[in-house]
Amino acid sequence: MLKSLNLQDIRQKTMQAFDHRVRIITAGLDLDELRNLMRGDPPQERPNPRYKVHTTSFIFHIRPRYYQKASTIFTHTFRLGFFTAFFFFEELFTGLILMIYYTPSPDQACQSILNLISNVPFGQMLQDMHRLGAEAMVIFTAPHMFRTYLTGSYKKERSFTWLIGVVLLLATLLLSFSGYLFPWDQLAYWAVTIGTSMVGAAPVGGNEANLLLRGAPDSIRYLYPRCRNCLVLPRSPRAHR
């Protein structure tokens, strides 16, 4: 009898703790209310907990119950967030295809790019779409963050969303910079060399940031691809020994 009571108490407390956690994530909706919401049934609790969830929940704010018609005016957002997300998925789609033909190796990267352009059907188009998509994503991300800051849309309940946006902006810039080196040709090498040199000129943490972006101190100078227009640098005296 005592064992059964203990099991029932444990089960009840576990369900209460789980229900409390679900309500925190969904801004007040429990499991039964979630099931009714997915089925289109009316709410069970009073007052209706669904009015608040669409404005405070991370999950349900994507599909709000209602919104002001004036908020859809083009000049309010210029659809900058939409275009940023669009080019992100475009980068994801083209990148997965290009990953099949690209060889991430210093002595084969450039040759794999030339093979992609010359022998793969629509390879040149995919590479151009991926390159232009990366540039367009940076172009739309920066003014999107700037507009959010000028209009004060980052305040109060949206502060956490703003923080995530800043992290995504830095990640976008970092990926755009690092992806420039993938073809491993002369243009990519010197562009990355100039960029890392600018970072290395910072008075505090410049050398560490330079080393982090380059990946190694000077190992890039001892790599010799064998394809035309690729990175070819003179051998150092140490390399002749």
Q: What is the pLDDT of the chain when averaged over all its residues?
A: 81
230 forms beta bridges with 185
**pLDDT at 240 exceeding the cut of 50:** no
Above 80 in pLDDT, residue 237? no
The mean per-residue pLDDT over the stretch 78-100 comes to 93
In the chain, the amino acid numbered 68 is: Q
Q: What is the pLDDT of residues 138-194, one digit of tens each?
A: 999 999 999 999 988 888 878 888 999 999 999 999 899 888 888 888 888 888 888
**Per-residue confidence (pLDDT) for residue 235, from 0 to 100:** 43
pLDDT of residue 107: 81
Domains parsed from the chain with CATH numbers = 10-65 (no CATH), 79-231 (1.20.810.10)
